[in-house]
Structure 1
Amino acid sequence: MTLQQRAQAAQQRAAQRDLKGALALIESAPPEQAAELLAMRIAYLKALDRRDDVAAIRRQQVASQPKSAIAHHNLASALGDMGRNEEALFHAQQAMALGSDAPETWIVLARALQALQRFDEAIEAFRQVLARRSDYAEAVTELAQMIWLTGGEVHQARQPHLDALAKHPANPVLLRGLATFNEYVGMDPRENWRDLTDRAKNASGQSAAVETVATYLALKFDPALALRHAERAVDMAGQDLAAWTMLAQSLLVNNRANEALEILPQLIAAAPEDQSLLAYHATAIRMLGRADPLGLDNGDALIRAANIDTPEGWADLPAYLADLKIALERQHSFVRHPIGQSLRHGTQTPVDLRRVDDPVIQAFFTAIDGPVRQYLSALGQGNDPVRRRHTGGYRIAGCWSVRLGSGGFHEQHIHPQGWLSSACYIDIPEAVDRGHEGWIGFGVPPFHLANPLEPLKLEKPTPGKLVLFPSCMWHGTIPFEDPRPRLTIAFDVVPD
């Protein structure tokens, strides 16, 4: 097999979501092809979350090229992905000492400093990224969020967006970033919409991406206006999945579920694992009072709860949860909710818990293994969007903790990167015994409907309970009032 044939065959397997097969083709290449295929190999390893293997490759490159700034940068990036932040910081600094002044190296440095809770240094490093590339949208977003999360004033946290837009006023990614920031710091939706649309108009920056954001904002106060924005977005970029998805949502909010169902099956056929499309389809079906042909209305079969196991080394589950609470509290280093997430009046851990070097936290992944496998066994095989992905195995695709304070809640949301999602309760306020305060509810969308839907199911939190459900299912937390925080761990599962 020639180099080109091998690369094309691997790309075809990857396109068919057979990442393991694609990687196997690359790794079975003869030595003379290996160097040319290395970038593909690393991409597939990353997609399969085999970060240790990526880091091993990068270590070999540093060993063979110890004076290469690029090699040190690549290793720093790989180590950062693994949560090895002290090492990531060291190799980013080595790359700089060897002459790298690229914004990509500065952002690796900034993220390592943030993960190490060296927040002032991280903020300055993010500023250095933007001094070198003023339209680096990720750095703008992360700098603004750092200032916000560490207690800065709203106007201070907004300034990175304003500075970037002063230089790049028509950049749709920057415009979307500012609109998202404004939403999560509490700006009135109509005011936020007007700010976005005025900026785009003044900069001649109208685009499908901006129209899609304008749709999202307008849905909160004028559904007919939102629908006009969505139709313009589709007209501007007829093949853009995000525009069509927002059109479907707009039709639902305008009580035109039948029309939404004319387009949603086509979108799902094009992107069968898109969790938002599945959620909108399920909502449309329920709005029309029909049985869901995809089976996403069967709350009892798809939403299951069980206590996690007691890990080895603890006498019982309460003893483990007590230690886990202490370990998690140490990870909650911010003072506000993050931008772009579902929680309000609370905090979220900044580092994926899989990467935290704490034996108490790592024991959690042993404690959940049994309940996850029991869920998979009960779920079984099938042709619906959830069961057809069932391979018999699983891997964790992300894990974090949320601490909600009094008045806190999760907006209704889905998990776009998952297959199955979860809520595991570590420490619970007494408010959960009053009605449904602090409970998790399923199946209700986050947007206004003319005839609101009732939850498919409600689950009461209890310490140690793990609730598992499809990532495409709307879920959110009912607000509660209690001086005692509500501490949870959540994670996403994908097929292995």
Structure 2
Amino acid sequence: MAQSRQDILLQQVVDLIGRQRPAEAAHILDVVIGPAGQMLAPVRFLRGIVYLMQGDAMSGEKALIRALELQPDFQEAAIELMRLCNATGRFVEAIDHSASAAAVARPAEALLAERARAFQAMGRQEDRVRERERIVAIHSRKPAAYHNLAAALGDAGRAAEAEAAARQALAVGGTAPETWLVLARALQGQSRLDEADEAFAQALRLRPAYVDALRDRAQLAWMRSGDVESALAMVGEAEAGAVSADLAALKAHICEATGDAERGYALLRASGGGDDPRYQPMAARLALHFDRASALNHALRAVVSTQGSAEAHRLLIDCYLANGQVERALPLIETELVRNPMDQGLLASRWTAWHMLGDERAEALYDYDAFVRATKIDVPPGWNDLDAYLADLGAALRTLHRFRAHPLDQSLRWGSQTSADLLRSEDPAIKAFQTAIDGPIRRYIAHLGRGGDVLRSRSRGGYAISGMWSVKLKSGGFHLSHVHPMGWLSSACYIELPASLDADAREGWLKFGEPGIPMAAPIAAARHVRPEPGLLVLFPSYMWHGTEAFAAGGSRMSIAFDIVPA
């Protein structure tokens, strides 16, 4: 069948777009096809693409939206609009715009992948998994489809299923070291540590300077042994074959996370990677521990070297605050909050700035009386009293604490953290914990009520738990002050405590209001909560919180989790 004149013209537009000639494509769309074609979805779609090529994102977005209004299941238009929304952090809009296109029997793989990315960015891991499962159903012989499903399952805490998907990716021909890394993480999530180490090693055999795999393998070695030199030696072996700024930064990070930022800084400077754009942010972070002025210098250079990246701006905010330059920090904080209004780390930085200025809004944001609440958990069905339940829960958790040292990227020091997601545990006592905390959580949310502030405005009455883990601190252990950037509410629930803690020194107590930034003029904690077995403390995720170290023998074991609105 002969093509119509309009089809021929549209094909010419497609060819011109492919040859990077948007002006000629626009002429055909606007003049040759003209107003009569503007009610056709393909015409509006192509016009949107041309607008984007010409740097007019606003007009491009409007044209893509119009194309979807004319044809709601238009796959290509939905894909391009989602890419635009995802790139600008508008993930909810991306999902909404693509709903009709995703509802067809066989959506485009790229459409489902963009939806998965949006769900991932929103922390909706189960929805991300569902999109990846749909891709696998359509492309059952593609290693990449199984790999991406495995990664999604791993991030959702479904380690056994992640392992199965990663192995399937390898079975259908996958050879990527990234798949071996996903497999290794899934095995570690099941506490199969020797197998995990071997999978990390296989990823590194395929790509000897694979920094992500090297980092995770070195971290595993550190957590199992508590020997920082063995972790650094692993990185050193890789450096012998391929010196890179990434490997130098990894060694510096290991030093920082194990308590020796000055050594890390010296290693970074000795690497000669000063021209690498990643050097300045890392140097700023390390120097902040011991030389605030140098840290600020590096942070200012980081903004230039990274072309104003979000990470560089966050570092600059921290360095301004650490150096007491609050008048420079606050405008940056407000600018970043416009882009990410619910970022809990930025809200903590804003509180720090307000507190330094004596602004009364600081007291309202950190209303300890209203927002920090401690209560005993409920006794779940199957146990006669709380002591009996805590004894069984503690015994179950002890079997999961397989490490001697803390993870590299967490706030705890001198203790261990579980790898497995407790939400997926089949142990009766651990499973019952969700029942034990449900009542206290719902009572807390009811107590909060609704309001226009950044905490209450997010409440929808319900909740979902986003990740759950256990921490076991040994003598001398503590948590650095920190926040939970992706949470809404955060928690600490005490399961076991040392027999004798010095109450006068507040050993092991939870503390609030001490910034996790080394300040020139330190801000002391304003509220403490004394731990008790079975006590659950709930508070906003944007509140600076940490713990006081304890010298008593024995260990302090707790469970923590984040809560998001539902």
Q: Do both share a fold (TM > 0.5)?
A: yes
Q: Is the 8 A contact 1:115 1:350 kept in 2?
A: yes
Aligned to 1:258: 327
Aligned length: 491
CA distance in 2, matches of 1:143, 1:454: 37
Q: Return 5+ residue gaps in structure 2 as ranges.
A: 1-71
CA distance 1:489–1:19, change in 2 (3 Å): farther
Q: Return 5+ residue gaps in structure 1 as ranges.
A: none
Aligned to 1:296: 365
Structure 1 residue 279 corresponds to structure 2 residue 344: no
| Matching residue within 285, 309, 314 for 1:245 | 314
* Structure 2 residue matching 1:232: 3-state secondary structure: helix
After TM superposition, list the pairs within 5 Å mapping 1:446-485 onto structure 2. Answer: 446-485=516-555
| Matching residue within 169, 185, 202 for 1:111 | 185
CA distance in 2, matches of 1:195, 1:142: 20
After TM superposition, list the pairs within 5 Å mapping 1:55-204 onto structure 2. Answer: 69-70=143-144, 72-74=146-148, 76-151=150-225, 153-172=227-246, 174-187=247-260, 189-199=261-271, 202-203=272-273
- Larger mean CA deviation between 486-495 and 59-68 belongs to 59-68
CA distance in 1, matches of 2:428, 2:81: 42
Matched letter for residue 338 of structure 2: A
CA distance in 2, matches of 1:98, 1:33: 23
Q: Is the 8 A contact 1:294 1:384 kept in 2?
A: no
Aligned-residue CA RMSD in angstroms? 2.8
Greater gyration radius: 2
Structure 1 residue 494 corresponds to structure 2 residue 553: no
Structure 1 residue 42 corresponds to structure 2 residue 116: yes
Name which structure has the greater RCO, CA cutoff 8 Å, separation 6+: 1
Q: Is the 8 A contact 2:351 2:362 kept in 1?
A: no
CA distance 1:154–1:464, change in 2 (3 Å): same
Q: Is the 8 A contact 2:228 2:258 kept in 1?
A: yes
CA distance in 2, matches of 1:474, 1:78: 30
CA distance 1:447–1:93, change in 2 (3 Å): closer
CA distance in 1, matches of 2:519, 2:134: 56
CA distance in 2, matches of 1:413, 1:338: 15
Q: How much has 1:67 moved relative to structure 2? A: 6.0
Aligned to 1:412: 481
* Structure 2 residue matching 1:350: 3-state secondary structure: coil
Q: Is the 8 A contact 2:75 2:108 kept in 1?
A: no
Aligned to 1:29: 103
Matched letter for residue 309 of structure 1: D
After TM superposition, list the pairs within 5 Å mapping 1:199-348 onto structure 2. Answer: 199=271, 202-203=272-273, 205-207=275-277, 209-292=278-361, 295-348=364-417
Q: Is the 8 A contact 2:169 2:179 kept in 1?
A: yes
Q: Percent identity?
A: 43
Q: How much has 1:13 moved relative to structure 2? A: 7.0
CA distance 1:36–1:93, change in 2 (3 Å): closer
CA distance in 2, matches of 1:311, 1:345: 31
CA distance in 2, matches of 1:273, 1:333: 35
- Larger mean CA deviation between 37-46 and 360-369 belongs to 37-46
CA distance in 1, matches of 2:76, 2:173: 35
CA distance in 2, matches of 1:62, 1:239: 38
CA distance 1:257–1:30, change in 2 (3 Å): same
* Structure 2 residue matching 1:490: 3-state secondary structure: strand
Q: Is the 8 A contact 2:125 2:152 kept in 1?
A: yes
CA distance 1:221–1:67, change in 2 (3 Å): closer
Aligned to 2:59: none
Q: How much has 1:284 moved relative to structure 2? A: 1.7
- Report the TM-score, using the length of structure 2 for normalisation: 0.79
CA distance in 2, matches of 1:246, 1:52: 32
Q: Is the 8 A contact 1:27 1:41 kept in 2?
A: no
Q: Is the 8 A contact 2:177 2:202 kept in 1?
A: yes
CA distance 1:279–1:175, change in 2 (3 Å): farther
* Structure 2 residue matching 1:31: 3-state secondary structure: coil
Structure 1 residue 383 corresponds to structure 2 residue 452: yes
CA distance 1:337–1:316, change in 2 (3 Å): same
CA distance in 2, matches of 1:339, 1:495: 29
* Structure 1 residue matching 2:454: 3-state secondary structure: coil
Structure 1 residue 4 corresponds to structure 2 residue 71: no
- Larger mean CA deviation between 226-235 and 132-141 belongs to 132-141
* Structure 2 residue matching 1:117: 3-state secondary structure: coil
Matched letter for residue 253 of structure 2: T
Q: Is the 8 A contact 1:234 1:244 kept in 2?
A: yes
CA distance 1:218–1:320, change in 2 (3 Å): same
Q: Is the 8 A contact 1:215 1:230 kept in 2?
A: yes
CA distance in 1, matches of 2:444, 2:537: 10
Q: Is the 8 A contact 2:191 2:419 kept in 1?
A: no
CA distance 1:7–1:323, change in 2 (3 Å): same
